[in-house]
Amino acid sequence: MQLTRIDRWLKETFVYEIQILTLRPSEEVPRGIREIELPEKPGRRFKHLYTTGNSRAADKLLASLKENNQMFSTKVVDRKGWWVQFIAPEGRSVTWYLVSVFLMMGSATPLVIWIRGLIANPDFIKNFKESIEILKG
């Protein structure tokens, strides 16, 4: 299903996490960025991982890396949190899901009110019980 602007904003704000990999540590790390030194493994090119959910902080770090002519790689991944599956379900739009739930609730409310009115009517209950007895035989 197509995502709405609200869905995209929710994903950018609460789901996506920016990862920046570098060969050597950055001289200047902006506030809001976590730095992790990766363990040495054969075949691994990058030694430092910077993660953040804030795109402005990531832009500042990237500008600093470019200014210092450092080699880097970036990728955007989903955060690991319990809320991710509710905000960004795979292949579905949260906005359209909520709209359809509210429409169903709005259309079911008059039906529930009508049924409650029938149950509160003693004549209807009496006729209903008689019809059940007739059907039983």
Can you give the CATH number for the domain in which 20 is found?
3.30.70
Pair (61, 100) in one structural domain: no
Tens of pLDDT, residue by residue over 10-22, are 888 899 999 999 9
Pair (55, 74) in one structural domain: yes
Domain stop point among 87, 106, 126: 87
Residue 132: per-residue pLDDT? 93
Pair (17, 50) in one structural domain: yes
> Which residue range(s) make up the domain with 109?
94-136
Pair (82, 98) in one structural domain: no
Pair (52, 10) in one structural domain: yes
SS3 (DSSP) at 33: coil
Place of tokens 């079911």: 108
pLDDT band at 113 (very low <50, low <70, confident <90, very high): very high
For residue 45, which of 21, 74, 69, 75 has the smallest C-alpha distance? Answer: 21
pLDDT band at 96 (very low <50, low <70, confident <90, very high): confident
> Could you tell me if residue 76 is left (phi over 0), alpha (psi between -120 and 50 degrees) or otherwise beta?
beta
Pair (14, 48) in one structural domain: yes
Residue 1: per-residue pLDDT? 63
In the chain, pLDDT over 70 holds for what percent of residues? 99
Average pLDDT over residues 33-50: 89
Pair (70, 121) in one structural domain: no
**How many domains does one find in the chain?**
2
Pair (83, 98) in one structural domain: no
Pair (10, 75) in one structural domain: yes
Amino acid identity for residue 137 in this structure: G
Stated pTM of the model: 0.68
Pair (15, 57) in one structural domain: yes
Min mean pLDDT across 64-68, 85-89, 109-113 is at 85-89
